[in-house]
């Protein structure tokens, strides 16, 4: 059995063992790839490139259909062919996620916390608001009061305006210079945000991808495997970030394992970028033919990608 077959089977088995849904993987491919190559993709080529992931045509069609029903994908039919792209809703969610997924490093912390006090958010919007806050790393300090150790508010402000709840909550900026209070806060973070569970996710991620990447750093796989590895890694990393509150270094345990995982993803992504992009240009199509070259935003990922 060749190294290529072994690597492909290992990733396929990992996807199966991790119970990764086809729908979730489709979202990853649209966010990581399609959004950077003209935004539209043919269903036929999507089915073709998903085969190495272990998903069949029926699963792809079902996943795409569900995403259309949930307003994540829009469809354009040309003759018998169907083409898909993110909706505005999905693009908004993706842009928020991309800021974290492809970040070079965390900005310097200014010791400020952001607090959100929910006053009268309508019930129909409250659950979406709560889920989005959790994704951004907020957690409840007490009923109706959410907190995060950061003063960066762009994603929060976008969310508040998207849901139209500007007059239904209060946003505070808070800080403390008291050393004992900072110690209490670190214990609060460790327990309330369940850092031990998050640490396990990162360790499992490194246990699987570190050996694969070490071999890749010595000898780059062929374009098809570069594409497969890039998508699988970004997908798993994105899933962990859904649980990661993105805390500043000062609020994390020494030698935080999440930083090692981030460094591995950054190094691997930069190495895989050119070869996987060649695969995308050759195998994935839209209504005009081969996918266009990646956008300028793509080349800014992880602090800069160069071919």
pLDDT-derived band at 2 (thresholds 50, 70, 90) equals low
What pLDDT is stored for residue 291 in this prediction?
94
Per residue in 146-193, pLDDT (tens digit) is 988 887 888 889 889 989 999 999 999 988 777 777 778 777 777 777
What pLDDT is stored for residue 180 in this prediction?
72
What pLDDT is stored for residue 269 in this prediction?
97
* The pLDDT of residue 298 is above 90: yes
Q: Which two tokens stand for residue 85?
A: 């792209």
Rounded to two decimals, what is the model's pTM? Answer: 0.86
Contact 238, 101 (CB under 8 A): yes
Q: Which two tokens stand for residue 11?
A: 């990733």
Per DSSP (E only), the strands in 107-166 are 112-118, 139-142, 145-148
What pLDDT is stored for residue 31 in this prediction?
96
Per residue in 183-240, pLDDT (tens digit) is 787 777 777 778 889 999 999 999 999 999 999 888 888 999 999 999 999 999 999 9
What pLDDT is stored for residue 96 in this prediction?
84
What pLDDT is stored for residue 1 in this prediction?
54
What are the C-alpha distances in Å from 106 to residues 69, 220, 252, 259, 294? Answer: 36, 29, 13, 10, 25
> Which of 93-97, 189-193, 290-294 shows the highest mean pLDDT?
290-294
What are the C-alpha distances in Å from 8 to residues 11, 54, 112, 295? Answer: 5, 10, 45, 28
Per residue in 99-149, pLDDT (tens digit) is 889 988 776 778 888 999 999 988 888 888 888 888 788 888 888 899 888
What pLDDT is stored for residue 258 in this prediction?
94
What pLDDT is stored for residue 158 in this prediction?
87
Per residue in 68-83, pLDDT (tens digit) is 999 999 999 998 899 9
* pLDDT higher at 105 or 289: 289
Q: How many angstroms separate the CA atoms of 212 and 86, rounded? A: 31
Q: Which domains does the chain have, with CATH numbers?
A: 112-176 (3.30.70.240)
């Amino acid at each position: 059995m060749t190294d290529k077959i072994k690597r492909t089977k290992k990733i396929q088995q990992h996807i199966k063992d991790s119970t990764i849904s086809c729908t979730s993987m489709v979202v990853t491919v649209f966010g990581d790839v399609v959004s950077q190559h003209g935004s539209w993709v043919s269903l036929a080529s999507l089915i073709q490139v998903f085969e190495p992931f272990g998903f069949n045509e029926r699963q792809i069609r079902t996943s795409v259909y569900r995403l259309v029903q949930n307003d994540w994908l829009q469809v354009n039919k040309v003759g018998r062919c169907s083409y898909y792209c993110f909706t505005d809703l999905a693009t908004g969610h993706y842009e928020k996620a991309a800021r974290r997924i492809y970040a070079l490093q965390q900005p310097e912390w200014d010791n400020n916390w952001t607090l959100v006090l929910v006053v009268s958010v309508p019930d129909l919007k409250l659950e979406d608001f709560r889920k989005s806050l959790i994704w951004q790393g907020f957690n409840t300090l007490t009923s109706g009061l959410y907190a995060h150790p950061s003063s960066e508010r762009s994603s929060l402000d976008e969310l508040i305006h998207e849901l139209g709840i500007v007059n239904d909550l209060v946003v505070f900026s808070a800080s403390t210079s008291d050393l004992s209070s900072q110690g209490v806060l670190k214990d609060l973070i460790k327990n309330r945000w369940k850092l031990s569970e998050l640490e396990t996710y990162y360790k499992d991620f490194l246990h699987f991808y570190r050996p694969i990447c070490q071999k890749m750093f010595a000898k780059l796989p062929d374009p098809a495997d570069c594409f497969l590895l890039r998508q699988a890694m970004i997908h798993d990393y994105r899933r962990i970030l859904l649980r990661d509150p993105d805390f500043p270094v000062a609020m994390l345990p020494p030698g935080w394992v999440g930083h090692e995982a981030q460094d591995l993803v950054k190094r691997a992504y930069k190495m895989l970028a050119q070869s996987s992009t060649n695969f995308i240009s050759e195998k994935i199509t839209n209504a005009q033919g081969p996918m266009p070259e990646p956008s300028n935003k793509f080349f800014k990922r992880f602090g800069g990608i160069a071919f």
